[in-house]
Structure 1
Amino acid sequence: MSPEFARNMNALGVLAVCLVLVLAFYFQLVLYELPCPLCLLQRVGFVAVGFGLGLNLLWGTRARNYGIVLVAAIFGISVSIRQILLHIVPGTGHYGAPVLGLHFYTWAGIAFGLIILGTAVMLVFEKQYDLAADVRASERFGGSKLAKTAFILILSLGVANAGSALLECGPGICDDPPTDYKFLDKLEEAGET
């Protein structure tokens, strides 16, 4: 696998993670399904996966960047499994509307499992780490429009998720289940007094 092919695969991986985050925002902003604290932690896992893949786009493919992806995906799947187990017992309810019969936390667990598997497969191909074939320093930022777009998009979604979590939870502990944007309510109350 050439370094350029590996870079394109990483860019596609970042775009897939971005799609997951965009869908989560759609449910949050359009359908007003606020993410629970465990959902927010799963988003952190997705952003960290995108960050690790983004480092491969920015600086060239490195095993240590895949390590970041693996740690983030293991964190994410752990949180997903925790949430699945909280809702697996009959009568305990669920959180959020199902999508194709499964809830977001179940889909997140599946996605993190696929990320772990895909990263393990990518680690097998050693030619992607060939420094002689790596791009010149002047071309390191992405090398292609696809890579540049993917990197900028994951950074933007990471910032948007951090802002969204701040608006929902404020500087303190998040409500479970969330009912509104706590920080905005506090600002509104402060403006009325």
Structure 2
Amino acid sequence: MTQTRAITLNALGLYAVALVLAAAFAAQFVLHELPCPLCLLQRILFATLAIGPILNIRFGPRPSHYAMSLFAAVAGAVVSTRQVLLHIMPGDAGYGSALLGFHYYTWALIGFIAAIVLLASILLFDRQFDDTAPQPISGGAFAQAAVWLMIGLTALNVVSTLLECGFGACADNPTVYELLKHAA
């Protein structure tokens, strides 16, 4: 695999993570379901998962960049497994709406496991790490758009979390935006 192909795959990975974060926002704003603290942590870990591809696009593919994403994916799998286990008892309706029979945290677990497998697989292609090849400067418009989309979605998540939780701990089962409650 060439560096150019690796950067294209990293950009596609960023678009996939952006789709996950956009779906979470859709549930939050369209269905009026505020994310719980573990859901917020999973969103942060999806944003952290994007750091490796962003660095690969900017500086060229490096095993250390993929390793950072692998660590984020493992942490995300642990957090989402924790939430799945919280709602595993018979009769527990789970937190939030289900999509195709699974709740967001179950989809998050599937996504983090898929990321682990895909990241480990892409590390098998050594040619992308060839130092004799010229380093990409920007990765092209397709890759740059993916980077800026992720940066924008991450910023929106930060603002949304601040509005929901305020400057204190987030509610276990949030029902209002704390900062907006005090403004009204």
Task: State the TM-score, normalizing by the size of structure 1.
Answer: 0.92
The answer for the alignment partner of 2:180 in structure 1 is: 184
Matched, 1:166 2:126: no
Alpha-carbon distance in structure 1 between the residues aligned to 2:183 and 2:52: 35
How far apart, in 2, do the equivalents of 1:182 and 1:107 lie? 27
Paired residue for 2:106? 106
Q: 1:62 aligns to what?
A: 62
For residues 109-148 of structure 1, give each alpha carbon's deviation from its aligned partner in whole angstroms, at most 9, with x where no partner exists.
000000000000011111101122133xxx522x211100
**Distance between the aligned counterparts of 2:134 and 2:80, measured in 1?**
36
Any unmatched runs of 5+ in structure 2? none
In the alignment, the residues of structure 2 paired with residue 171 and residue 75 of structure 1 have an alpha-carbon distance, to the nearest angstrom, of 24
Percentage of identical aligned residues = 46
Q: Are the counterparts in 2 of residues 51 and 154 from structure 1 also a CA contact under 8 Å?
A: no
Counterpart position of 1:155: 151
Matched, 1:96 2:96: yes
**CA pair 127-183 structure 1, distance change in 2 beyond 3 A:** same
* SS class of match (1:153): helix
Aligned partner of 1:116 in structure 2 is 116
The residue number in structure 1 matching 2:48 is 48
Structure 1: distance between partners of 2:25 and 2:109: 18
Structure 1, gaps ≥5 residues long: 189-193
Aligned to 1:145: 141
SS of the counterpart of 1:162? helix
**3-state SS in 1 of match to 2:123:** helix
Matched residue SS, 1:140: coil
* C-alpha distance in structure 1 between counterparts of 2:65 and 2:116, whole Å: 13
What amino acid is aligned across from residue 137 of structure 2 in structure 1? R
Cα deviation, 1:134-185, whole Å, max 9, x if unaligned, reads 33xxx522x2111000001111111111111100001110011110101111
RMSD: 1.0
Q: Which amino acid aligns with 2:154?
A: G
Counterparts of 1:149 and 1:12, CA distance in 2: 11
8 A Cα contact 1:62 1:129, kept in partner: yes
SS at match of 1:131: coil
Aligned to 1:28: 28
